[in-house]
């Protein structure tokens, strides 16, 4: 199930459906980008993420949120550069999570939940890469 896209190859144009997984990941990217942008500019406590006033990191979060929205939007359009951008953003997110795990004392009970996000992100990146032939 998915949305029909025309994909060109050396034999001409084929009608193929965008995989549902790409659609789901693209929508998640857009939603995460919006939430990150809201947290960056407007909220100082969003989903448990607390910020003490406006700092450079609020602007960084807003910019990253905008990149997530742009990558997600163009991932819906099955653009190859958007797939690359999405994978880069996901690996940036994984790196950030690993840095947080190494520098913040989560405690044993919270460490597992802190590892779930990067594992899900890695699965998303692998899935996007596995569908490389769908991007134009």
pLDDT at 72: 96
- The Cα–Cα gap between 110 and 99 comes to 15
User: Structural domain of residue 117, as residue ranges?
Assistant: 20-134
Alpha-carbon distance 109 to 94, whole Å? Answer: 20
- What phi, psi does 55 have (nearest 5°)? -140, 180
- What per-residue confidence (pLDDT) applies to 49? 58
Of residues 82, 77, 83, the one with CA closest to residue 5: 77
Percent of the chain's residues with pLDDT above 90:
40
What's the number of domains the chain is made of?
1
Please report the sign of the dihedral spanned by the C-alpha atoms of residue 51, residue 55, residue 56, residue 61. positive
Q: Is residue 7 one of the residues assigned to a domain?
A: no
Confidence grade of residue 109 (pLDDT, cut at 50, 70, 90): low
Would residue 59 count as lying in a domain?
yes
Task: Determine whether 33 is exposed, middle or buried from the number of CB atoms within 10 Å of its CB (0-12, 13-18, 19+).
Answer: buried
9 within a domain of the structure (yes/no): no
Q: What is the pLDDT of residues 55-87, one digit of tens each?
A: 677 788 888 899 999 999 999 999 999 999 999
Mean pLDDT of the chain: 80
The better pLDDT of the pair 7, 93 is held by 93
Q: Of 19-23, 37-41, 53-57, 84-88, where does mean pLDDT reach its minimum? A: 53-57
The residue-averaged pLDDT of 37-54 equals: 64
Instruction: Answer whether residue 1 is part of any domain.
Output: no
Question: Residue 14: pLDDT above 80?
Answer: no
Q: How far, in Å, CA of 112 to CA of 133, rounded? A: 34
14 belongs to a structural domain: no
- The better pLDDT of the pair 46, 95 is held by 95
pLDDT value at 105 more than 50? yes
pLDDT at residue 7 in the model: 46
Q: Is residue 91 part of a domain?
A: yes
Q: Considering the domain boundaries, does residue 113 fall inside one?
A: yes
Q: Which pLDDT score, from 0 to 100, does residue 93 have? A: 87
The answer to whether position 48 is within a domain reads yes
């Amino acid at each position: 199930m998915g949305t029909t896209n025309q994909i060109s190859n050396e034999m001409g144009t084929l009608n193929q459906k965008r995989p549902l997984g790409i659609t789901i990941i693209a929508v998640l990217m857009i939603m995460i980008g919006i939430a990150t942008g809201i947290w960056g500019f407007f909220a100082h406590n969003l989903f448990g993420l607390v910020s003490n006033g406006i700092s450079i990191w609020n602007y960084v979060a807003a910019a990253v949120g905008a990149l997530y929205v742009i990558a997600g939007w163009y991932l819906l359009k099955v653009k190859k550069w958007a797939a690359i951008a999405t994978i880069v953003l996901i690996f940036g997110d994984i790196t950030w999570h690993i840095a947080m795990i190494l520098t913040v004392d989560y405690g044993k009970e919270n460490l597992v939940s802190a590892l779930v996000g990067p594992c899900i992100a890695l699965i998303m990146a692998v899935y996007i890469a596995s569908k490389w032939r769908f991007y134009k």
